[in-house]
Amino acid sequence: MRGLRGRLRILAGITILIAITVAALNPQAAWNAIQLPLFALFSTTRMVLAYMLSLVFAIAYGHTAATNKRAAVILLPILDVLQSIPILGFFPAALFFFVATFPGSPIGIEFAVVFLIFTSMAWNMAFGVYESLTTIPVDLEAAAASFGLRGWLRFRLLAFPAVIPKLVYNSILSWSNGWFFLVASEVFTAFGQNFRRPGLGAFIADAGLSGDNAGIALGIGVLAAVVLALDTFVWRPLGVWSERFRMETTGHEVPRVPSPYERFRWLPRFPRLRRTFLTAVQPVVTKYHRASVRLDRTYSAHRKVIRDIRYLDLAMFVVVLLLVVVAGVVGLARLFLSPLPPAAVELPRAAASSFIRLALAYAIALAWTIPLAAWIGRNPRGSRYLTPVLEVAASLPATALLPIIVGFALFATASLGPAAELSAVLIALFSMQWYLLFNLIAGVRAIPEDLNEAARSFGLRGRAYWRRVLLPAMVPSLLTGSITAWGAGWNALIVSEYIPFLSPPPHVSGLGYLLDISTFSKPPSNAMILLTILMMIVIVLAMNKLLWRPLYKRAAVKYRVEV
Amino acid sequence: MELPLLEVKEVQKSYFENGKEFKVLDLIRFELAERDFVCVVGPSGCGKSTLLRIIVGLEPPTSGQVLFGGSPIRADNPQVAMVFQSFALFPWLTVTQNVELGLEAQGIPPEARRPRAHKFIDAVGLTGFENAFPRELSGGMKQRVGLARALAIEPLLLCMDEPFSSLDPLTAQNLRDEILQLWANPDLPPKAVLMVTHSIEEAVYLADRVMVLSSRPGRMVAELEIDLPRPRNRKEPEFYGWVDEIYSLIV
């Protein structure tokens, strides 16, 4: 790791040199660059706020769904739908709502941005909480019950620790999802109006708009640095710490499946800094312990009151839910009772072309990720050098790369129509490919060494090895990756099929385009927005229910590697 | 007359699937008095673990009832403790914290529960491992923690569900002997032990009384007093006589 630290120092030196040169050559750019740390702070603050909201939501929602069977009947399908809809489509509605609530103040837009990021983070974390709570080993539950752990004590000693590993892992995923939407939402055109809040995403978009290549590079560089710094100082330590909360199912020695947190193994660990930090937070830890003891006592003293509060809480949630459902039904009824807007004729064709675009991006992604994952998964030495590069590349949200991709497409095709088509596919590709790659690598790494050795001892090599060992072992993780990748793909269409800040705006026909022009027109066509989003939801849900789920079920039986 | 410690009265358990009834346990009845060491033996799938879960109150019986000290059993009864086949240790708690679990649930303050936990950690021979996490321990040591955790609440009745089945034979035998030593010490809890196992030899080696269950649905086939003197020797013909008798009852 020392070598890596040395390299990081060299990198920092080079960055400073470049910065000085740029400042000398172009004072305006230098002024912009000086503001960058502030922008980074703004953007990160939005992310942190949204994450904290998501955390509270995920624990409350997941815990209720796991412990209250009656509530679960409603809560789980809702979560399922929320998780599969392209949320970017709802941003205009949220924006409209929040801006109308705080007229003439940027707070409305800030709320909308944080809300959008929240919607990209919360669902999979809630699912993580639900899954870990429902998979607590029966004996551990029984031990907790027979030793009299109840209420708050049960939550503190059993439920909360049990959710930590999955919660941290899903948080890492959610956090990178969040960047995608943060960048997309800091500059947004809707209702014929431009909304923007200062931040890294806005900086990159502005640089792209004015064709300032150095600015684009600088913005993306700073974004990558922020993402990596957070990985180093927050997620990696959290991931290592969360390992402690992993379940051991039996007393038998189980072959260790490589943990997803080993993802960040190559990041420097900064032992001295960490020690200082740990000493600094020690008083907080002690205070937490004392507080939790006091909470134990308070809880047992006020058990009845707390139960009543929980029922009240649940009742309120049900009321809000009913309101939302009623509003939705009324909206839908109104939509289908009134004559459809003329533009609705284009929906089927738009859906088809969007689908083909995603399928193309998916095929390209598969073509390079499968061989690479097979290689990386089996070559620890090669992966040591390649993984950091890939992870830095993957840490950049596709929305931030938009100016570069569009610029490249314009350069490569030299005319607007094909350029728009190329950039739309490329953005979809960049949103989809990393989910596939990292899932596939995990799949290959999870092949037990016994199986590999058995294959080797029977002389299985080349194509036979691929057909009998590698590909079957990849199937489950390929399916998991595909579901996430397609979800990300639909969101990418919304930003990629119509790029409003260039003039003339490049566009291709598709659902994303239809949605965008209905949103950007003044006044916005509400009926068309709703119809397009509905169309997307139907396609996504249909693919999940009719394609991915059945495939996954079959794969789970046939290709699961028993450990 | 003194009340028996535990009364199992006509316990039946059925599961229902698609309206069809699957009977697991049929009319089980027995009593447990103080100073009883009882083993329930039966082939796998005879519902003996279900019986134990019903006895400690983790599951309700379909009919019949379980009385402890004359009143219906509750899962969180602090006078009944449980040891699990899978150890069921909390992986994120240290040995001491695991052992303190039941005491913490009873609201005993940290200063008071620490010495009690350490007393039982010593008793099972884990001195020096107080701050270790379960994943750092071997299987045998984990089960010692499970045992200490159960003893720490100073229960009247100790219930064990196949406690040695996930251990290798040598470790299991050592632990059996240690349990007998603890059992022989009148200063230490519990007053009675109820253990479920599929190993006939184990039952004959440990128990004063063996209850034999038949399979599907589990019925009481026999109740045998093992009057062999302790320490028992597995190689003696009397020992094998008992094993053979129980074996013929099951098959």
Percent of chain B whose predicted confidence (pLDDT) is above 90: 11
Q: Is A290 on the interface with B (CB under 8 A)?
A: no
In this prediction, residue A366 has a pLDDT band, given cuts at 50, 70 and 90, of very high
Query: Any chain A CB within 8 A of the CB of B88?
Result: yes
Cβ A300–B107 below 8 Å, yes or no?
yes
CA A26 – CA A22 distance, rounded (Å): 6
Which of A139, A145, A157 is opposite residue B86, by nearest beta carbon?
A139
pLDDT recorded at residue A265: 63
DSSP A316-366: HHHHHHHHHHHHHHHHHHHHHHSPPPGGGGGHHHHHHHHHHHHHHHHHHHH
Residues β-bridged to residue B220: B213
By the CB < 8 Å criterion, does A254 face chain B? no
**B58/A142 CB distance under 8 A:** yes
Residue A247 to chain B, least CA–CA distance (Å) = 6
To the nearest whole angstrom, how far is the Cα of A449 from the nearest Cα of chain B? 22
Examine the pLDDT at A254 and tell me if it is beyond 60.
no
Nearest CA in chain A to B146: A143
| B81 in A contact zone (CB under 8 Å) | yes
Interface contact flag, A146 B135, Cβ < 8 Å:
no
CB contact under 8 A, B58 and A244: no
Our CA-based measurement puts residue A160 at a distance from the nearest CA of chain B, in whole angstroms, of 11
**Residues of chain B with C-beta less than 8 angstroms from the C-beta of A157:** 90, 93, 101, 104
Contacts of B111 (CB under 8 A, 6+ apart): none
Rounded to whole angstroms, the Cα distance separating A435 from A477 reads: 10
Reading phi first (left if > 0) and then psi (alpha if -120 to 50, else beta), residue A167 is in alpha
Compare CB distances from A147 to B101, B110, B135 and report the shortest one's residue.
B101
3-class secondary-structure state, position A196: strand
Residue contact B142–A142, C-beta within 8 A: no
Pairing relation of β-strands B220-225 and B209-213?
A: antiparallel
Q: Which of A354, A344, A349 has its CA nearest to residue A496? A: A354
Distance CA B32, CA B49 (A): 17
Q: What is the pLDDT of residues A210-250, one digit of tens each?
A: 877 888 888 888 888 888 888 888 888 888 788 778 776 44
Strand pairing report for A187-190 and A193-196: antiparallel
**pLDDT at residue A361, rounded to an integer:** 94
Q: Around A396, how many Cα atoms within 13 Å sit in the side-chain half-sphere?
A: 25
Confidence of residue A364 (pLDDT cuts 50, 70, 90): very high
- Is the pLDDT reported for residue A497 higher than 70? yes
Q: Tell me, yes or no, if B211 comes closer than 8 A to chain A by beta carbon.
A: no
Residue A172 and residue A342: Cα distance in Å, rounded? 43
In the predicted structure, residue B221 carries a pLDDT above the cut 90: no
**Band of the pLDDT at A562, cuts 50, 70, 90?**
low
Residues A103-158: tens digit of each pLDDT: 877 888 888 889 889 988 888 899 889 988 988 888 899 999 888 888 888 888 89
DSSP letters, chain B, are -PPPSEEEEEEEEEEEETTEEEEEEEEEEEEE-TT-EEEEE--TTSSHHHHHHHHTTSS--SEEEEEETTEE--TT-TTEEEE-TT----TTS-HHHHHTHHHHHTT--HHHHHHHHHHHHHHTT-TT-TT--GGGS-HHHHHHHHHHHHHHT--SEEEEESTTTTS-HHHHHHHHHHHHHHHH-TTSS-SEEEEEES-HHHHHHH-SEEEEE-SSSB-EEEEEE--PPSSP-TTSHHHHHHHHHHHHHH-
B183-209 residue pLDDT tens: 888 887 888 899 999 888 888 888 888
- The answer to whether A7 contacts chain B (CB < 8 Å) is no
Average pLDDT estimate for A472-489: 84
B135 touches A at CB < 8 Å: yes
Query: What's the DSSP call for residue A498?
Result: B
Task: Among B68, B90, B147, pick the best mutation site for testing chain A contact (most A Cβ within 10 A).
Answer: B90
- pLDDT-derived band at A560 (thresholds 50, 70, 90) equals low
**Chain B residues in contact with A137 (beta carbon < 8 A):** 86, 88
Kindly tell me if the per-residue pLDDT of A256 is higher than 60. Answer: no
- Identify the band that residue A44 occupies on the pLDDT scale cut at 50, 70 and 90: very high
Cβ contact, residue pair A157, B90, below 8 Å: yes
The β-bridge partners of B161 are B196
Which of chain A's residues have a Cβ under 8 Å away from the Cβ of B84? 139, 142-143
Considering only CB atoms, A251 lies closest to which of B102, B105, B166, namely B166
Is B101 in Cβ contact with A149 (below 8 Å)? yes
Task: Decide if A142 and B86 are in contact by the 8 Å CB cutoff.
Answer: no
Whether residue A250 and residue B166 make contact (CB cut-off 8 A), yes or no, is yes
From B58, B153, B167, residue closest to A145, measured CB to CB: B58
What pLDDT score does A258 carry?
41
Judge whether A153 is closer than 8 Å to chain B, CB to CB. yes
Q: Which residues pair with B160 in a beta bridge?
A: B83, B195
In this prediction, residue A253 has a pLDDT band, given cuts at 50, 70 and 90, of very low
